[in-house]
Amino acid sequence: MGITVIDGYHAPAFVGSLTLAVFLTAMTAARWFGTSILDRYGRIPLLRASVGASILGLLLVVFSPSLALAVVGAAVWGTGTALGFPVGMSAAADDPTRAAARVSVVASIGYVAFLAGPAVVGLLGNHLGVRHALTAAVGVLAVGLLVSTACRQPTSPQEGPATHADPPAHTEPSGLVGSPGSAGPTSSEASVPTPRPVQNCPRWRPNS
């Protein structure tokens, strides 16, 4: 980013460093506040918006007629590239049975991009200039837009039959005791004696 501003716009060295700082600050802020947007809209809309912002910011940096607009493009570019890699890592870990293999693949792709990206830009910069060599990243972003649907959040699995559920409570069918189809009183009912009404008894009188 700094070399692009210095060589492409013939800006002083401190302006190139300042532009890189703007890029990194925008990326950090987007990662800090982007989780609420992710929770609200989901992965696919967020990734598509991130790719669109990245392409817009990159094109502003490369084809901007002024340095000030290029710095704005650096901020937009940093915002767009903030959540792509973290969301991809999160999507790779959705399936617990294959999470280790998928996360390792995504991490390897990220490391290859970090190591090979500057070399490819430098190679193209020898022929096209560093400023216009950045347009190669547009193709990579377009591929990311096409495969963004692979990061779709899994649906909640349906609850299966309960294996450790308590047995259902035994209910007695209604009916009179001793009648056909009646199971009679339960053990708890049988153990409780039925109160009897008190009959009027003659009052005892002593013999006079």
The pLDDT of residue 176 is 45
> Is pLDDT above 80 for 184?
no
At residue 101, the pLDDT reads 92
> Helix, strand, coil % (nearest 5) of the chain?
65, 0, 35
158 located within any domain: no
Phi then psi for residue 147, to 5 deg, are: -95, 10
Residue 174 resides in a domain: no
Whether 195 is covered by a domain: the verdict is: no
Any domain includes 89: yes
pLDDT in tens, 33-48: 998 999 999 999 999 9
User: In the structure encoding, which two tokens stand for residue 20, read together?
Assistant: 């890189």
Average pLDDT over residues 164-187: 49
Q: How far apart are CA 138 and CA 53, in angstroms?
A: 11
C-alpha span between 37 and 49 (Å, rounded): 11
Cα 207 to Cα 191: distance, rounded to the nearest angstrom: 43
Distance CA 199, CA 183 (A): 32
Is the pLDDT at 162 greater than 90? The verdict is: no
* Residue type at 176 in one-letter notation: L
- Report the alpha-carbon distance of residue 185 to residue 189 in Å, rounded: 6
The Cα–Cα gap between 172 and 47 comes to 59
Please say if the pLDDT value at position 6 is more than 60: yes
- Residue 144's nearest CA partner among 57, 61, 53, 32 is 53
pLDDT in tens, 50-109: 999 999 999 999 999 999 999 999 999 999 999 999 998 989 899 889 999 999 999 998
CATH number at residue 47: 1.20.1250.20
Beta strands in 81-200 (DSSP E): none
60 located within any domain: yes
Q: What's the pLDDT at 200?
A: 54
Average pLDDT, the chain: 81
Count of structural domains, the chain: 1
Domain containing 54 equals 2-151
Predicted confidence (pLDDT) at residue 160 exceeds the cutoff of 50:
no
What is the model's pLDDT at position 18? 95
- Taking the CA of residue 171 as centre, how many other CA atoms within 13 Å lie in the half-sphere pointing to its CB? 4
| Residue 195 pLDDT | 57
The upper half-sphere exposure of residue 21, i.e. CA atoms within 13 Å in the direction of its Cβ, equals 6
Q: What is the pLDDT of residues 99-152, one digit of tens each?
A: 999 999 999 988 898 899 888 988 998 888 889 999 999 988 998 888 888 888
Q: Does residue 187 register a pLDDT over 70?
A: no
In a domain, 34, yes or no: yes
Residue 161 lies in a domain: no
Q: What's the distance, Cα to Cα, between the start and end of the chain in Å?
A: 127
CB burial of residue 56 (10 Å; 0-12, 13-18, 19+): middle
Residue 177 has pLDDT above 50, yes or no: no
pTM exceeds 0.85: no
| pLDDT value at residue 202 | 53
**pLDDT bracket for residue 198 (50, 70, 90):** low
User: Is 52 among the domain residues?
Assistant: yes
